[in-house]
Chain A
Amino acid sequence: MNQTLPSRREFLCAVAGCAAAASTAGCSDLTHTSWFQSRFREMSDAEKKDVVAGLEKANKERFGKDVTVGIEPPMEGVEFGYALDISRCIGCRRCVYACVEENNQSREPQVQWIRVLEMDKEKGIDFAHADAYYDAEKVPRDGHFYLPVQCQQCENPPCVKSCPVGATWREKDGIVVIDYDWCIGCRCCMSACPYGARHFNYAEPQIPAEQLNPKTHYLGNRPRGKGVVEKCTFCIQRVRKGRYPACVEVCPVGARKFGNLLDPDSEVRAVLENKRVYVLKSELNTRPRFFYFYGL
């Protein structure tokens, strides 16, 4: 009864006939190919170390420079929240491009995790008449306001429920993450997300090596391949080290606020307690951790 079963990896190794090869090359060489590795959240520490080493080696080959892949776990007593002041946002899109650079999004074909919607003041928040493709000499334009949309890090995330392989889940600190090595590219999560926050790599992502951000996290901005879904992670590689997300730091009008919802002295708590706060599509009961407020 107490006989231990071989792990999925050991079993696959044996079935695939790599047992013989394992005696010479070792099975660990194959782990980063993602065929034999477990889900990140099920990995032992040893396996994580193995996988990270494999990834760093692969990225060195792909980009010709050292890339670190962090595996920092959630901090105790921390649940992240985000607040965006729509009375301040001027629609300059600095956040969009700071995010692309920080999070190693594909430059060609273009992938952008933040989408800034231009809306008519007369119509209010109205997605049917919003325009993400506005171009202007100067913003803000008269009669318009701007609503940036990115992953809302829902407490009740429909994308997670829709994933048939468990490749995406919500971490203890509230960040919804994706294991790119488990994503099968079915895009169910994309159709489940009511905010259009998930993006698919239809082609091999192109990032010039000199523009690659080498400080990465396994569940965040490590370089992805073709055929996987990706999205905002609140800059998991930064926030789990105490830093602010890149979009918060770059915003020239200070419209973006970030912090720990469990800390009564945090900026987000001050917003939630003192401002008029709005969440997108509250009727869907997704319970976003991304709040919009009116700061004026």
Chain B
Amino acid sequence: MLLAFAACDLSTHEESFPGVPAPLGLEPGEKIEVPPPPFSEGQFPCTNCHDPEIPVNRTRRPMEVAHTEIVLHHDEEHRWCLDCHSAENRDKLHLAGGELIDFTESYRLCGQCHGDKYRDWRAGVHGRRSGEWNGHKTYLLCVNCHYSHAPKFQPLKPMPPPVRPSALAKGVLE
């Protein structure tokens, strides 16, 4: 699996908030090894389209020109794009406190509201992990399983049910 370690050129937690303990067991500047975020093709970097020169329209509104496929089902009564996406730097997300983070650190953003899940995820209790039980383990980002704009896990088609014993016996006795 490809591992993305995007270099963080912006301030770390320690620089932004000196003396404030880092969230949930992460050392200042520490990053967790995760796969690349599941961007739709051609979407990233966002600044390809979002020219930093163009002033940002901060009015909450439905998307009509671009991103029309995004229908927010994620506390949509209270949230919209710029609650998570940074208007200052379109290639970043921002935490509630203003700290800019990379998409590869999005778990910190999700963890602001879903602290219990974040804690479980850090301990390996929430979410799927791969690797070795006694060695190197890799995490998935929240958004690898939960689509960030509609995070509820979608129902799946189940695999076929087992053959009933009556039918099994028939096959054997014939």
Residues of A within 8 A of B (CB): 75, 78, 85, 90-94, 96-97, 108-110, 112, 115, 132-140, 202-203, 239, 242-244, 249, 251-254, 257-260, 263, 266-267, 270-271, 274-275, 295
Give the residue of B125, B130, B156 whose beta carbon is less than 8 angstroms from that of A139: B156
Q: For the complex, give the distance between the alpha carbons of A249 and B129 in Å.
A: 7
Contacting pair A96 B128 (CB below 8 A): no
Chain B interface, number of residues (Cβ within 8 angstroms): 30
Contacting pair B172 A134 (CB below 8 A): no
Of chain B, the residue at the smallest CB distance from A91 is B158
> Shortest distance in angstroms between A108's beta carbon and chain B's nearest beta carbon?
7
Contacting pair B124 A270 (CB below 8 A): yes
Contacting pair B172 A202 (CB below 8 A): yes
Q: For the complex, give the distance between the alpha carbons of A86 and B153 in Å.
A: 15
Contacting pair A139 B133 (CB below 8 A): no
Answer yes or no: B160 CB below 8 A from chain A CBs.
Answer: yes
Contacting pair A134 B161 (CB below 8 A): yes
Please, which residues of chain A bring their CB within 8 A of the CB of B18?
A: none
Answer yes or no: B58 CB below 8 A from chain A CBs.
Answer: no
Answer yes or no: B113 CB below 8 A from chain A CBs.
Answer: no
Please, which residues of chain B bring their CB within 8 A of the CB of A91?
A: 158
Please, which residues of chain B bring their CB within 8 A of the CB of A134?
A: 158, 161
Of chain A, the residue at the smallest CB distance from B134 is A242
Q: For the complex, give the distance between the alpha carbons of A135 and B164 in Å.
A: 13
* Binding site secondary structure of chain A: loop
Give the residue of B123, B133, B157, B162 whose beta carbon is less than 8 angstroms from that of A258: B133
Please, which residues of chain B bring their CB within 8 A of the CB of A133?
A: 161-162, 164
Q: 6 extra interchain contacts, Cβ-Cβ under 8 A, other than A244-B132, A295-B120?
A: A78-B134, A92-B156, A138-B157, A242-B133, A242-B134, A252-B156
Give the residue of A109, A112, A202, A244 whose beta carbon is less than 8 angstroms from that of B133: A244
Q: For the complex, give the distance between the alpha carbons of A252 and B125 in Å.
A: 14
Please, which residues of chain B bring their CB within 8 A of the CB of A78?
A: 134
Please, which residues of chain A bring their CB within 8 A of the CB of B130?
A: 244, 249
In the complex with contacts A109-B168, A135-B161, A267-B123, A254-B128 CB distance below 8 A:
yes
Answer yes or no: B163 CB below 8 A from chain A CBs.
Answer: yes
Contacting pair B125 A257 (CB below 8 A): yes
Of chain A, the residue at the smallest CB distance from B131 is A244
Q: Would you give 17 A-B contacts (Cβ < 8 Å), ordered by A?
A: A75-B134, A78-B134, A93-B160, A93-B161, A108-B171, A109-B168, A112-B162, A132-B161, A133-B164, A138-B158, A249-B130, A253-B145, A254-B127, A254-B128, A254-B129, A259-B134, A263-B134
> Shortest distance in angstroms between B120's beta carbon and chain A's nearest beta carbon?
7
Q: For the complex, give the distance between the alpha carbons of A244 and B138 in Å.
A: 12
Q: For the complex, give the distance between the alpha carbons of A221 and B57 in Å.
A: 61
> Shortest distance in angstroms between A201's beta carbon and chain B's nearest beta carbon?
10
Q: For the complex, give the distance between the alpha carbons of A6 and B138 in Å.
A: 53
Answer yes or no: B126 CB below 8 A from chain A CBs.
Answer: yes
Answer yes or no: B25 CB below 8 A from chain A CBs.
Answer: no
Please, which residues of chain B bring their CB within 8 A of the CB of A274?
A: 120, 123, 125
Answer yes or no: B155 CB below 8 A from chain A CBs.
Answer: yes
Contacting pair B133 A90 (CB below 8 A): no
Contacting pair A97 B159 (CB below 8 A): yes
Of chain B, the residue at the smallest CB distance from A85 is B125
Mask for B139-174, Cβ within 8 A of A = 1, else 0? Answer: 000000100000001011111111110001101100
Give the residue of B155, B157, B162 whose beta carbon is less than 8 angstroms from that of A115: B162
Q: For the complex, give the distance between the alpha carbons of A51 and B153 in Å.
A: 48
Q: For the complex, give the distance between the alpha carbons of A179 and B168 in Å.
A: 25
> Shortest distance in angstroms between A106's beta carbon and chain B's nearest beta carbon?
10
